[in-house]
Structure 1
Amino acid sequence: MQSTQGFSDLASILSNLILNTDSYKASHFLQYPPDASAMFSYIESRGGRYEHTLFFGLQMLLKEYLCRPVTAAMIEQARAFFSAHGEPFNEAGWRYVVEQYGGYLPVRIRAVPEGSLVPTHNVLVTVECDDPQVFWLASYVETMLMRVWYPITVATQSWHLRQTIRAYLLKSSDDLSQLPFKLHDFGARGVSSAESAAIGGAAHLVSFMGSDTVLGVVAANHFYHDSMAAFSVPAAEHSTITSWGRERETDAYRNMIERFGKPGAIVSVVSDSYDLFAALNAWGTELKQAVLDSGGTLVIRPDSGDPCTIVLHTLRALEASFGSQTNSKGRRVLNQVRVIQGDGVNPDSIAAILAAMDEAGFAADNIVFGMGGALLQQINRDTQRFAMKCSAIRLGDAWHEVSKDPVTDHGKRSMKGRLTLLRHRCTGEYRTVTLPIVWDEHTVAGEWDEALATVFDTGRLLVDTSLAEIRGRAYANEV
């Protein structure tokens, strides 16, 4: 039997904060000015697909990585690695952290509250270290903290998709309460790691409450104090249908109704394993009475073909068999049956499908979307052009502004100075300013509040937000 020792060793390495960085960071303590005594860095979205970002996920990173102390064993492990890796290692600096701070990094992190919707080009997080012995820590943690781009980007995309779906519900439906379950997370198998499933899956749940990504639900429950952040329903996959054989396909469908169909229940059945059109005919004829008698809601999943075309065909076939009711918006709602589209789902196809349904007179009630790779994987740091940059350094006793402005790409210009974020009390407008704040005719004292709060300081988590609070902030921004 193959030994699993290698996996336990890897787990130890991954939990070592000193190694959770880029290689070249190990040499940076030797590169700063000799009189440097403190450093200030910040995180922002420099634009991208969306003009506003929904801030989420920092609390997970802080709890998982910075609320755990560096140990002497971690220092030994890192020293051995970097000496063999070709990089200098600041052993004295890390031993200072252990001896003076019990292994907790003496950095102060301020951030906008999670769930806040903030225009791009504004500071979202600041990181400061004012201990002259280890001031470089404010930059050393960049690699780890910069990964907050991922949950922010997932949460941002999901929030904007929520607005797209919400607009069609307002236009075509009498029931806005179904909105939290209109976009289901199908992304667990399409991400690069279990950690991605957990972090990205949790981020989606700021805006929605339907998920098949178990690790995402567990992470949301664990890191954000929720008893159950999302829900799912019994659903067929192709193996549970095709295992009956093509000649017994109808028996497989009937089994789903017998096992899971009951008053108030929802059962989802993929129906394109062989011939979607024949399956729709079977659902509307020999299986129709079983569906009606169950008292539950049957959700048909077509899983191939052009999404717009197939959704409309499926809706029309089901309407011909089960009928529909016309709501107060003049749109038709199917009786006891719905459609879930989980193939080819992305921001563009969701909007196109909803528009086609509306044009055909179908209410948005009739469809639920399942989104996989496009939800959790088809994004990257440049989707919202995230960056973390040093913006100020203290030399001796005096702070100096720091920035970059490449002549070859002014879009990468960074902000300078010790920064904070203000929010207007009446309009909700955000504005990034430098410290100390200079109140003038554009930023009048008494009209603006500090939008950043200190969330972490030297191993102590100072703000521990619940998912319910985060959702409340996010929904307050809906139009």
Structure 2
Amino acid sequence: MTTPLSDLNLILDTDSYKSSHFLQYPPGTTRLFSYLESRGGRYPVTRFFGLQYILSRYLTRRVTMEMVEEARAVIEAHGEPFPYEGWRRVVEVHGGKLPLEIRAVPEGTLVPIHNVLMSCTNTDPELPWLPGWFETMLMRVWYPTTVCTQSWHIREIIRQALEDTSDRAAEELPFKLHDFGSRGVSSRESAGIGGLAHLVNFQGSDTLEALRVGRNYYGAELAGFSIPAAEHSTITSWGKEHEVDAYRNMVRQFGKPGKVYAVVSDSYDLKHAINVHWGETLRKEVEESGGTLVVRPDSGDPPAMVRLAVNALAAKYGTTTNSKGFKVLQHVRVIQGDGIDESTIRQILQNLYVDGFSAENVTFGMGGALLQKVDRDTQRFAYKASAGLIDGEYRGIYKDPVTDPGKRSKDGVLDLVEENGRMVTRQYRTFDTDFPGSLMRTVYRDGELLVQDTLEEIRGRG
């Protein structure tokens, strides 16, 4: 039976071809500088998040000779050369700590595209290939950053709608986009770090993994909240003829003063459920319970179904009119968790506005589109070498393909600063700089995590 490879061996967490690069740099190369940026994409600004998790979980781990020997055996059998002496130097000279320096903007910072977000350079002149070796791992910060970015931009859409139509925008906003994405992602880790990226902007989630990551890596005792909610199995297990009994049970179990609970109501016929079961049979019990019933449509065209549900509930339960002239449902709300993305959110909010309803009447549940329907090209992330020290002399490093000018990379030792109220990337032509006025911080050096932000600190930067 094949011997399992260690899950803890961070040397193997790279692309195969990286192992040959130590033989490819010019003789006399002692230092390389690489950087991460969003080269454009769907959104004009990114909200940086997730590096602290990567550094804390992986790059604070010490390299051992057992890891080196294991990696050497695998990579050489795999068809690549292996920098054995270099990795042995990491163990013997540096005690297994990686001689790297990583600088980054504070997590939660909103940064316009085409600017440096993170940089990496080696601190041992014998190991200039290390920043490139860890491109694979460090580049994965694209995922939580992209989730956080998309979530923030949707937050701004909802925030504007609430400010236009609600007297309670500040109280309502944190719970208006609920994470339903855990089952739709590729791994437990994706659920955790992606789910927490969303919780930088909101506080509603059904992704328990996000709470674990928040507590273990970002000092968050409780990163998000949820409410009791029905699914189709808990409703349909009563049988179609007892659908109203399933709903009554939800009211009696969870309809307590000040409490909120959600009930999926389209297992059979949404219109009948609202107009008869909720609107007549159970209306008085819902009203007298003191709780807030959230009706959930789960099929059909999302904007049309929300419009139907809100108007039907308004006819049965009544509304009040707030100071901005928009109607607010009494005792009930609606959550749409099927087919939700930025486009359908915009359509639903527009329908509410046209119909004279406050945006506070509806909450959105977002699953695969929130945590999985993104990729590295959503914001066109790139990690590139931009400067080197070769034979003691500085050299700018960049690519400039004539077939795609958008892929021209930056050269220089890069830093992010503020000039005339704008964030801009400064390009130094030397490694000997102390980065005056920098918006970036040294977050990692020589195996040690130097900065540990809390989730609350990160939330405050948006």
Query: What TM-score do the two structures reach when normalised by structure 1?
Result: 0.93
Q: What is aligned with 2:226? A: 232
SS at structure 1 position matched to 2:461: helix
Which residue among 446, 451, 460 is the counterpart of 2:439?
Answer: 451
d(CA) in 2 for partners of 1:428, 1:257: 53
Question: Deviation of residue 220 (structure 1)?
Answer: 1.6
Q: Which amino acid in structure 2 is aligned with residue 404 of structure 1?
A: K
Q: Which amino acid in structure 1 is aligned with residue 245 of structure 2?
A: D
SS at structure 2 position matched to 1:226: coil
Which residue among 239, 260, 270 is the counterpart of 1:266?
Answer: 260
Number of matched residues?
456
SS at structure 1 position matched to 2:224: coil
Question: Deviation of residue 143 (structure 1)?
Answer: 0.2
1:244 has 2:242 as partner? no
Q: What is aligned with 1:343? A: 338
Q: What is aligned with 1:383? A: 378
SS at structure 2 position matched to 1:232: coil
Deviations 1:218-248 (A, max 9, x none): 2122211111110000000111111111111
Which residue among 41, 48, 56 is the counterpart of 1:55?
Answer: 48
1:330 has 2:331 as partner? no
Q: Does the 8 Å contact 1:37/1:130 carry over to 2?
A: no
Q: Which amino acid in structure 2 is aligned with residue 96 of structure 1?
A: R
1:140 has 2:133 as partner? yes
d(CA) in 2 for partners of 1:419, 1:321: 61
1:460 has 2:448 as partner? yes
Structure 1 runs (4+) deviating above 2 angstroms are none
Which residue among 94, 97, 100 is the counterpart of 1:104?
Answer: 97
**Structure 2 gap ranges (5+):** none
Question: Deviation of residue 436 (structure 1)?
Answer: 5.8
**Where do residues 364-379 of structure 1 align in structure 2 (5 Å cutoff)?**
364-379=359-374
Question: Deviation of residue 79 (structure 1)?
Answer: 1.2
Deviations 1:122-169 (A, max 9, x none): 001010114222110011100000000001100000111110000000
Deviations 1:167-215 (A, max 9, x none): 0000000001110000000000110111110110010011000000110
Q: What is aligned with 2:107? A: 114
SS at structure 1 position matched to 2:140: helix
Question: Deviation of residue 429 (structure 1)?
Answer: 1.2
SS at structure 2 position matched to 1:473: coil
1:356 has 2:351 as partner? yes
Q: Does the 8 Å contact 2:214/2:221 carry over to 1?
A: no
d(CA) in 2 for partners of 1:130, 1:402: 18
Q: Does the 8 Å contact 1:40/1:393 carry over to 2?
A: yes
Q: Which amino acid in structure 1 is aligned with residue 82 of structure 2?
A: F
Question: Deviation of residue 449 (structure 1)?
Answer: 2.2
Q: What is aligned with 2:410? A: 415
Q: What is aligned with 1:173? A: 166
d(CA) in 2 for partners of 1:160, 1:78: 42
1:223 has 2:217 as partner? yes
Q: What is aligned with 1:95? A: 88
SS at structure 2 position matched to 1:328: coil
d(CA) in 1 for partners of 2:4, 2:338: 39
1:35 has 2:23 as partner? no
Q: Does the 8 Å contact 2:123/2:446 carry over to 1?
A: no
d(CA) in 2 for partners of 1:331, 1:294: 25
1:80 has 2:73 as partner? yes
1:158 has 2:158 as partner? no
Which residue among 104, 120, 134 is the counterpart of 1:127?
Answer: 120
Deviations 1:89-131 (A, max 9, x none): 1111111001111111100000001111010000010101142
**Structure 1 gap ranges (5+):** 438-445, 475-479
d(CA) in 1 for partners of 2:112, 2:311: 41
Q: Does the 8 Å contact 1:39/1:130 carry over to 2?
A: no
Deviations 1:251-304 (A, max 9, x none): 111111111110000010000111111111210111111111210000000001
Q: What is aligned with 1:441? A: none
> Could you say what the CA RMSD is over the residues aligned between the two structures, in angstroms?
1.5
SS at structure 1 position matched to 2:214: helix
Q: Which amino acid in structure 1 is aligned with residue 246 of structure 2?
A: A
d(CA) in 1 for partners of 2:305, 2:421: 43
Q: What is aligned with 1:471? A: 459
